[in-house]
Structure 1
Amino acid sequence: MTELLDLARTIALEAGELAARRRREGVAVAATKSTVVDVVTEADREVERLVLGRLQDARPSDGVLGEEGASVSGSSGLTWVVDPIDGTVNYLYGIPHYAVSIALVEGEPDPLTWTSKIGVVLNPATSEIFTAEAGAGAFCGERRLRVGGPTPLNLALIATGFAYAASTRGAQGEVIARLLPQVRDIRRQGTASLDLCFVADGRYDAFFERTLSPWDHAAGALVAREAGARVTGMRGAAPSSDLIIAAEPSVAARLEAVLDELGAFDAF
C-alpha cells in the first residue's frame, strides 16, 4: 500500500497548490447544494476534476466517490473517497483552515461497511499534510502522531461542527449549550477532516459531529485511529452521518455517555 499512499500524497499536494492558487486569485460561489449556506465554488469542481483525472490515469480499475459529483465504479474492490476542498465556507472567506482530503477504502463505498486503507489530509494554507496507512501509524509530515492522553471531561477541549439545515443547527446548538459547562471549552473551525487530524495530534481532546458525509471523515478518521484514537459512531456503530466521535478511548467513552444523556442522539 505504500505506493498508493505516495500516490495520494502526490495528488493531494498538486490539488492543494491549485486550490491555494485559485484562492489567491479570488473565489466566488458557483452554486448552492442542500441549503443556501451549503455552497460550492468553481475551485471545488476544478480541484475535484484534477484529482479524478490523476486517479483514473494511475488507477483505472479503482472506483472514485467525490463530494462534487465524481462517482466512478471500479472493478478492483477499492474506492478513492475525495473531498476536493473540505471547509468550503472557510475557503470562500479566506480563512486558512480548509483541506484536500483523499482516502482509499476497500469494499462498498459506505462508511458503515468499508475498510479504510489510506488517508491523506492537506491544509494548503499552512502546508501541513497528515497521512495514515492502516496498521502503519499516522504522521504530520515526517512526525509520528499520537492522540492525547486520558483527560477528565471537564478539562477536555472538544471540537464539533454543525449541519447546514437551520432547524438542525438549532437543535445542535441546544445540545452544545448544555455540554459547554461540562468541558474545558468548545471549538468549531469548520473542517471536519482537519478536526480529526487535530485529535490525532493532541491539539483537541475530542471531536464529534452529526450529519457528516463520507468524504468529510474518510481520510481524517483513519489518521485519528492510527494515532490511537477511538473513532466510533452512535452507540458503538461505525462512524456515519448519524455520528462520529474521535478521542483517546476513555475520553471517547465518557463523551459518548454525556452526549447520550444530553439527548444529542435524539435531537434530530
Structure 2
Amino acid sequence: MTDTAAAAASADLLATARRIALAVSATALEQRRRGVSVAATKSTPIDIVTAVDRDTEERIRAMILDARPDDGIFGEEEDVHVGTSGLNWVVDPIDGTVNLLYDIPAWSVSIAVVDGPPDPEHWNAIAGVVVNPVSGEVYEASLGGGARLGDRELRIDQDVALDRALVATGFAYSLERRRSQADVLMHVLPRIRDLRRIGSAALDLGAVAAGRLDAFYETGLNPWDHAAGGLIVREAGGRVGGLRGEHESDRMLVAAAASVFDQLTEVLEGAGA
C-alpha cells in the first residue's frame, strides 16, 4: 500500500470511529441524565460496572460490525470478537466509570483501530478517538495524519522542565497496588509543579496532547484505556512508553513531551516503580 493509500485508509477508519463514538456518547449522556447505579463489580468491590458501560459497548460493537464485519473487536465489557482482516478495534465504552456514577464531568468514550493483535507491544495504532460526552470535546488522531481537538491541531510543548510540569496519574482498584503507587507518588510530588488525578486515562492522554497537562503516568492500565489516547499523544509530538526502555503496558505507561519523558521516567525508576 502506498503512503497516500495508507493515509486515506487511516482517514476512513478515523471517520468511522468518530461517527460511532459521537453516536454512542450522545446516548450515554442521556442515560447519565436519567440516573446511573452500579450494576456489578469486577476485579474488586470498588471496580464497578454500570448498565451504561454495557449498553454502550453493545452499541459500539453492533455499529463496528455493521460497518466493518471482517474486523476484530477487543473491549472492556465483552469477550473478544475475532476478525479476519488483521485490524482490531480496541474499545473502552466508558473510561471513568466512577466519575460517571458520581456525575463528575470527566468520563469518556474511547475507540481505537490497530493493525495487529490487541496488545500494545505488538500492535500499530492507526486511528483513535476520545470523546467527553459532557463537554462535547473530541480528541482524535490518525497515523501520520496528526492529532486534533475539534478543529485545532495539537502540538505538544517540547520546552518543559520536570519541576515546572503539571503531571496527572491514576490509581489501581487493587488496594495492594495502591499502596505501592502511593509510595512512588511521594517521590514524584516534590519534583513537579503539581499533580492532578482526573479519573479517566483516555482524557488524561488527550490533555497531554492538548497541553493541558505536561505528563501522565499510571500502572495497571488495560489496552483499551490508552489505545486511542496513546496515538493522540504520539501524533501531537509526544512520547509514550514504559520504564527502562519498555513499551507501555500494565506495568507502566508514561506519556509526555520529550523534554519531560526522560526526567519523569528516571524519577519513577528511582522510586522503584
Q: Which TM bucket (shorter chain)?
A: over 0.9
Instruction: Give the deviation of 1:250 after TM superposition.
Output: 2.0
Residue identity opposite 1:149 in structure 2: Q
| Alpha-carbon distance between aligned partners in 1 of 2:165 and 2:118, rounded to the nearest angstrom | 33
Q: Contact 2:108–2:130 at 8 Å: present in 1 too?
A: yes
1:13 aligns with 2:18: no
1:90 aligns with 2:117: no
Structure 2 partner of 1:161: 170
- TM-score when scaled to structure 1? 0.97
- TM-score when scaled to structure 2? 0.95
Give the one of 43, 46, 51 matched to 2:52. Answer: 43
| Alpha-carbon distance between aligned partners in 2 of 1:217 and 1:20, rounded to the nearest angstrom | 22
Any idea what SS the aligned residue of 2:244 has? helix
User: Which consecutive segments of 4 or more residues in structure 1 shift more than 6 A?
Assistant: none
Q: Contact 2:37–2:50 at 8 Å: present in 1 too?
A: yes
Residue identity opposite 1:218 in structure 2: A
Give the one of 164, 185, 189 matched to 2:194. Answer: 185
Instruction: Tell me the C-alpha RMSD between the 2 structures.
Output: 0.8
Q: Contact 1:148–1:199 at 8 Å: present in 2 too?
A: no
| Alpha-carbon distance between aligned partners in 2 of 1:244 and 1:180, rounded to the nearest angstrom | 17
Any idea what SS the aligned residue of 2:112 has? strand
Instruction: Give the deviation of 1:92 after TM superposition.
Output: 0.5
What is the count of residue pairs matched by the alignment?
A: 264
Instruction: Give the deviation of 1:70 after TM superposition.
Output: 4.0
Any idea what SS the aligned residue of 2:73 has? strand
Query: Which string of whole-angstrom CA distances, capped at 9 and with x for unpartnered residues, describes residues 11-65 of structure 1?
Result: 0001100110000000000000000110000010000000000000110000000
Instruction: Give the deviation of 1:161 after TM superposition.
Output: 0.5
Instruction: Give the deviation of 1:148 after TM superposition.
Output: 2.1
Give the one of 129, 133, 158 matched to 1:124. Answer: 133
Structure 1 partner of 2:5: none
Structure 1 partner of 2:7: none
| Alpha-carbon distance between aligned partners in 2 of 1:242 and 1:136, rounded to the nearest angstrom | 29
Q: Contact 1:48–1:70 at 8 Å: present in 2 too?
A: no
Residue identity opposite 1:148 in structure 2: D
Residue identity opposite 2:175 in structure 1: A
Structure 2 partner of 1:171: 180
| Alpha-carbon distance between aligned partners in 2 of 1:188 and 1:61, rounded to the nearest angstrom | 38
Residue identity opposite 2:220 in structure 1: T
Residue identity opposite 2:91 in structure 1: V
Larger mean CA deviation between 88-97 and 226-235 belongs to 226-235
Could you tell me the percent identity over the aligned residues? 52
Gaps of 5+ in 2: 1-9
Gaps of 5+ in 1: none
| Alpha-carbon distance between aligned partners in 2 of 1:155 and 1:235, rounded to the nearest angstrom | 23
| Alpha-carbon distance between aligned partners in 1 of 2:162 and 2:107, rounded to the nearest angstrom | 28
